[in-house]
Structure 1
Amino acid sequence: LREQDLRSFLPEVQAVVFNVGPKDLFSTPLLEPSVRAPEKISPPSKLFLNPRYTFDSFVVGASNRFAHAAALAVAESPAAAYNPLFLYGGVGLGKTHLMQAIGHQVAAKNPNAKILYITSEMFTNELINSIRDDKTLSFRNKYRRIDVLLVDDVQFIAGKESTQEEFFHTFNALHESNKQIVVSSDRPPKEIPTLEERLRSRFEWGLTADIQSPDFETRIAILKKKAEISELSVADDILAFIASKITSNIRELEGALIRIVAYASLNDSEISLPVTDYVLKDLFTPQKDKTNISIDLIKKISAEYYSVRIDDMSAKIRTKEIATARQVAMYVARKLTSASFPKIGEEFGGRDHTTVLHACEKMESAVKEDPEVAEAVEKISAAIKKYTPQSV
Structure 2
Amino acid sequence: MKKIAFIIVRYGENINGGAEVHCQMLAERLLPYYEVEVLTTTIRAFNHPDQDYTEGVSSWNGVTIRRFKPQPIDQEQFRPFRKKYKTARRIRQYLKKLNLLRAASFLHPEWKSGIENERPFYESTATHAPGLLRYIESHKAEYAAFIFANFYTPQAVLGSVVAPEKSLLIPMAHPDKPLYYCINAPMFTRVRHIAFNTEAERQLCRSVFGRFLAPNSIVGCGIEMAPEAEWSGVKAKYELPDEYVLYLGRVSKAKVDKLLPYFLRCKAKYGGDAKLVLVGGFENEIRKFDSPDILFTGYVSDEEKTAIVRHATVMVNPSPMESLSLLMLEGMQSRIPLLVNGRSKVMKDHCRLSGAGLWYNNGRDFRKKLHRLLSDPELRRTMSEKGPAYVREHYDWEIIIPKLRTLIESI
Q: Which has the larger radius of gyration?
A: 1
TM, length-normalised to structure 2? 0.30
More strand by share: 2
More helix by share: 1
